[in-house]
Amino acid sequence: MIFEFSNDPLASASPDAALAFLSFEDALVPPEIGHSQGPLREVIDRALSRSRFKGALGQFIDIIAPCGTSAARILLVGCGAKAGLAELGIERAAADAYRRVHATGATILELRFDPACAKDAAAMAFGVQLAAYRFDKYRTSEKSEKKPSISFTRIVSAEPETAGAAFQQALPLADAIYFCRDQVSEPPNILYPTEFARRIQGLDLPGMEVEVLGEDAMRQLGMNALLGVGQGSSRRSQLVVMQWNGGRTEDPPMAFVGKGVCYDSGGLSIKPAKSMAEMKWDMGGAAVVAGLLHALARGKVHANVVGILGLVENMPDGNAQRPGDVVTSMSGQTIEVVDTDAEGRLVLADALWYCQQRFKPRLMIDVATLTGAVEIALGQEFAGLFSNDDALADRLLRAATLEGEKLWRLPLAAALEKLIESPVADVKNYGGPEGGAITAALFLQRFVNGCPWAHLDVAGTTWQSTSSLPTVPDGATGFGVRILHRLVTDYYGGAVSRSDAPHAHTWTC
Ligand code: BES
Ligand code: MN
Ligand code: ZN
């Protein structure tokens, strides 16, 4: 996609353009149309009088442009009330405009919102970029009417240069969301632990340090909980450690730990066929953490951040872990593995312990497609948030609101600890279906050693077969990258390094 910021709406005159106006409940007709006379005004008045369009969020008018207008179609995109419209609303309106016309044959999308300040204009471009994501590398043919036709987005703003600079600043985050979605979309025969690690090592991110621990190194460290999960697979387990040290040397890092189960068959506690097909995206947490580090390094953010990815494949074979096995984790705590399908917490137990031991982080956040139970509790729009630290939980909730990704805090209910007590070991890895997301979080809490910690259970939000947000195409969502990126940058007061303001007006993404 090519983006252009311009202060000259007339220059767009193109027979292939879709012209999108933002429309509000309290200002239905965009001012530049309201003040004009002629066929465009007439056709819009007619459309408004013969439809139920009231400018509400999600409402839409798409009309073929009248003779004499040098555009293919005219769109009115409902945004709700004008007062209180935040950047997020503008971003979504632009994304919605793209989504509605992206395969209509129109080749140019011109977005007009009067007056679009630089931030609004950049938010529109960001929304279109997120909406334009596709994962089509394995398609060898596609019906031409399904192919996206829009390849150029033009945004009218009184401040095109500042808008370009603001968009440039937001691009690392968009790229990171693309990277995250790409990894989650990959099939499990292509993206297995060593391949995932290889891709992280291959990223061209100056200043990013990447280490990969293989099975021998992990065995020496005593990571038997993680290794037990991978032992039934012919693919080798990996622990990837990413470090972005953009902050002051003495500053303790923020740490992020991702569940990277590249395929979760359930192991010997094998899953039914229907739920197995989804389990290629059980590495979604690791993809979010990798995406976050990607964005921070690209954006040269002034913060010290560690990302740890626990990469395994959970498979049944003659060497696989058995329900009934007892493993000794790196922390020294013993775990009775009563269900080999509750594998994510075993991987995280060692990854979290290793993380706090080695880095002494100021805070630690894990991201994991951990339980089906969280999806039963909260559905697909909210991810579950657990934390042993109220201030951290509040920061995350605030970041989530600002970024339009929803979190809901659930309790680390001590009363449920008894469900994971084991008759033979210190703890067991599954406590039954009641409070399933909570007992999983309680299990993790035993491995954070008192460090300020939060756990995001993203099992319901990582993949959407039918997405409800225009900025999120169906499939891999990238949910979580924005929240964590906002958390890190806000923690340091928006400490993004400012590169020289770019002079370009067009951006190829
Ligand atoms: N990866 C799954 C959780 C999951 C379920 C993620 C659905 C995304 C969508 C996890 O490893 C798992 O298998 N959990 C089981 C645990 C139980 C049966 C032992 C679950 O929650 O059903
Ligand atoms: Mn599982
Ligand atoms: Zn899993």
Which of 81-95, 451-465, 484-498: highest mean pLDDT?
451-465
**pLDDT reported for residue 82:** 86
Q: How far apart (Å, rounded) are the C-alpha atoms in residues 300 and 294?
A: 10
Share of the chain above pLDDT 90, in %: 86
- What is the CA angle 363-369-375, rounded to 5? 115
Ligand 1 pocket (Cβ < 6 Å) reads 264, 278, 282, 339, 341-344, 369, 371-373, 430, 436, 459
pLDDT bin (cut points 50, 70, 90) of residue 8 is confident
Average pLDDT of the residues of the chain: 94
- Pick the residue whose CA is nearest to atom 16 on ligand 1: 342
What pLDDT does residue 146 have? Answer: 84
Kindly compute the dihedral angle of the four CA atoms of residues 473, 474, 478, 480, in this order, to the nearest 10 degrees.
100
pLDDT tens figures, 319-329: 999 999 999 99
Catalytic residue (one of 134, 236, 271, 409):
271
The ligand placed nearest to the CA atom of residue 265 is 2
Asked whether residue 47 carries a pLDDT value surpassing 80, the answer given is yes
Going by C-alpha positions, the residue among 449, 463, 283 that lies closest to residue 367 is: 283
Above 80 in pLDDT, residue 283? yes
Question: 67 — alpha (psi -120 to 50), left (phi > 0) or beta?
Answer: beta
Q: Which one of the ligands is nearest to 373 CA?
A: 1
Judged against a pLDDT cut of 90, whether residue 389 lies above it is answered with: yes
Candidates 73, 345, 428, 482; catalytic one: 345
Checking if the pLDDT of 142 tops 50, the result is yes
Question: Looking at 140-154, 370-384, 395-409, which range is the least confident one?
Answer: 140-154
Q: What is the pLDDT of residue 64?
A: 93
Q: CB count, 10 Å around CB of 412?
A: 17
Annotated active-site residue 345? The verdict is yes
Probe residue for ligand 1, chosen from 282, 428, 462, 465 as the CB with the greatest number of ligand atoms within 8 Å = 282
Which residues, other chains included, contact 97 with Cβ-Cβ below 8 Å and sequence gap of 6+? 18, 20, 75, 77, 109, 111, 128
Q: Which residue has its alpha carbon closest to ligand 1 atom 20? A: 372
CA-based torsion, 498, 499, 500, 504: positive or negative: negative
Cα 232 to ligand 2 centre (Å): 14
Q: How much is the pLDDT for 474?
A: 97
| Phi, psi (degrees; rounded to nearest 5) at 455 | -125, 125
Q: Other CB atoms closer than 10 Å to residue 27's CB: what's the count?
A: 15
Residue 426 has pLDDT above 60, yes or no: yes
Predicted confidence at residue 60, as pLDDT, reads 94
Query: From the CA of 106, how far away is ligand 2's center (Å)?
Result: 44
Distance 369 CA to ligand 1 centre (A): 8
Strand stretches in 7-129, DSSP E = 17-23, 60-64, 73-78, 108-112
Q: Assign 3-state DSSP to the chain and report helix, strand, coil percentages, each to 5.
A: 35, 20, 40
DSSP, collapsed to helix, strand or coil, labels residue 409 as strand
- CA nearest to 290, candidates 435, 176, 139: 176
- pLDDT score of 11 more than 80: no
What pLDDT, in 10s, does the model give residues 414-423? Answer: 999 999 999 9
Task: Give the pLDDT score at 498.
Answer: 47
pLDDT digits (tens, 9 = 90+) for 459-499: 999 999 999 999 999 999 999 999 999 999 999 876 555 45
- Tell me: pLDDT of 15 over 60: yes
For the chain, counts of helices (H) and of strands (E) = 15, 20
112 is catalytic: no
Q: What average pLDDT score do residues 410-435 get?
A: 98
